[in-house]
Structure 1
Amino acid sequence: MHRIALFGIDLLAVSLLVFGLYFPRHRRRDLVVAYLGVNIGVLAVAGSLSSSTVGAGLGLGLFGVLSIIRLRSTELDQHEVAYYFSALALGILGPLSDGEAWLGPALMALILLVMYLGDHPRLFSSYQRQVLVLDAAYTDRTTLVAQVERVLGARVHSVAVERVDLVNETTVVEVRFSRARAGDLVEAGQ
C-alpha cells in the first residue's frame, strides 16, 4: 500500500479514536490535543526513520522516553493512559507496515475495536470508584465497610484507607463499589 494512503488511514483512525470514542465519552479537551500531537509526532518520526539507515528503533526509543516523561508530568486515569498508547500505536503502525499492505490497517482497526468495546459506557456500568471523606475516625475495618455501604447505598467490593485523622475525627477512603440495577435485583431473587 502506498505510504501516503497509510498516513491517511492513520489520520482517519486517530480521528475516530479521539473524536469518535474518547471525547464523546470523557469530555477532557486538553487530552484531545495530546492524543493528536502524539499520534502525528510518532507518525512523522516513524515515517522519516523507517526509510533511513538510523532505523525505527531509535525513533521509537526516543518516543518511549518522551511518553514516560509525559505520563509522569500530570495525573492520568488508566483509561486515559490506554488512549494515549493507542494514539502512539496508531502512529507507529502507519509508516512501519509497508511490507504487508493489509496488516497496518487491520491492526489499526483492531486497536479501535478494542478501545470501543473496552471503554464502552455499558461495560461494567454499575461498578464505580470514589474517594470519600467520612466524618468519623474508623479503625475497625468491618465497621468502616458497613458505614461506607450505608453512605453509598451500594455493595462495597474494596476499601482502601488513605488517612485516619483521630484528632479531627475523619477517615479518607478509596472505595470500589457497585450499585444494584433493577435486573440485578431480580436475578439475585431480592
Structure 2
Amino acid sequence: MSQLVLFAIDICAVVLLVFGLYFPRHRRRDLVVAYLGVNIGVLAVASALSTSNTGAGIGLGMALFGVLSIIRLRSTELDQHEVAYYFSALALGLLGALSTSSLWLNGGLMGLIVVVMFLGDNKKLFRHYRHQVLVLDSAIPDHVALVAHLEQLLNARVHSVTVQRLDMVNETTIVDVRYSLTGRARTAAPTAPAHSGARR
C-alpha cells in the first residue's frame, strides 16, 4: 500500500514540477514530454528492479539510467536549468520506486526537490544578472579597453569576460560576457546590436 502512495506522490510531484514550474516559466513543449517520460520510465523500471532479491539487478539498473542520461544530454543542447529539471524528474522517479526508506522520508525528499527547483529557478533570484555571447564589430586585444567598451555598450557592470575569438583581419571580437544591469537598465533589458549574438 505504501508503494502505491509513493507512486501517487511521484505523479503529483512531477506534474507540479513540469506543469506548475517548468512550462509556465520556460515554454519549451518538447521537454515536457522528455521530463514526463523520464520520470515514469525510471519509476516503472526501478520499481520492477526493486522487487528482485539481488542487489546486482538494482545496481545494473541504476548504471543503465546513468548511461541513458549521458546519451540524452549529449543528443541535444540543453541549458543548465533544463539539465536541473531533467535530473529532478529522474530523482523523483527513483524516490517513488524505492521503498527501502520510510514513506515520509521519500515523500519529504520529493517535496524538497520541488521546493528547491521553485526557489532556484525563480526569476526574481539574481534577476539583474545576465550572460551573453557577443560578436563585436571591432578587434579589441586590450582587456581593460574591452571591459570598458562592453560596459558602455551594455550599460552594465561587467563581472567576467572571456574572449572566444579575436580576428584582427576582419576586425571582430567574439566574447562571452557575464554582467549585471545598473541604473535605468534594470527596468528595461539592454537592446543588443544587430551584429551581436545573445545567449542568456
1:181 to partner: Cα distance: 5.4
1:133 counterpart SS class: strand
Identity %: 68
**Do the aligned residues in 2 keep the contact of 1:126 with 1:181 (CA within 8 Å)?**
no
Structure 1, residues 25-58: CA drift from partner, whole Å, max 9, x if none?
A: 1111111111111111100110111111343221
Map 1:71-82 → 2, pairs under 5 A: 71-82=73-84
2:169 counterpart SS class: coil
Partner of 1:17: 17
1:60 paired with 2:55, answer no
**Do the aligned residues in 1 keep the contact of 2:139 with 2:171 (CA within 8 Å)?**
yes
1:180 to partner: Cα distance: 2.3
Structure 1, residues 142-181: CA drift from partner, whole Å, max 9, x if none?
A: 1111111111000000011111111111101111000025
Give the 4+ runs in structure 1 shifted more than 3 A: none
1:163 paired with 2:142, answer no
**Do the aligned residues in 1 keep the contact of 2:42 with 2:94 (CA within 8 Å)?**
yes
1:102 counterpart SS class: helix
Identify unmatched segments of 5+ residues in structure 2: 187-200
Map 1:16-165 → 2, pairs under 5 A: 16-54=16-54, 55-165=57-167
1:6 paired with 2:6, answer yes
Going from structure 1 to structure 2, the CA distance change for 1:181 and 1:32 (only over 3 Å counts) comes to farther
Equivalent position amino acid for 1:49 in 2? L
1:92 to partner: Cα distance: 0.1
1:97 to partner: Cα distance: 3.0
1:2 to partner: Cα distance: 2.0
Identify unmatched segments of 5+ residues in structure 1: 185-190
**Do the aligned residues in 1 keep the contact of 2:155 with 2:182 (CA within 8 Å)?**
no
Choose from 174, 182, 185 the match for 2:176: 174
**Do the aligned residues in 2 keep the contact of 1:6 with 1:105 (CA within 8 Å)?**
yes
TM-score (structure 1 length as normaliser): 0.92
TM-score (structure 2 length as normaliser): 0.87
1:136 counterpart SS class: coil
Q: Give the aligned length.
A: 183
Distance 1:159 1:28 in 2: 29
CA RMSD of aligned residues (A): 1.4
Structure 1, residues 42-85: CA drift from partner, whole Å, max 9, x if none?
A: 00110111111343221111000000111111111111111111
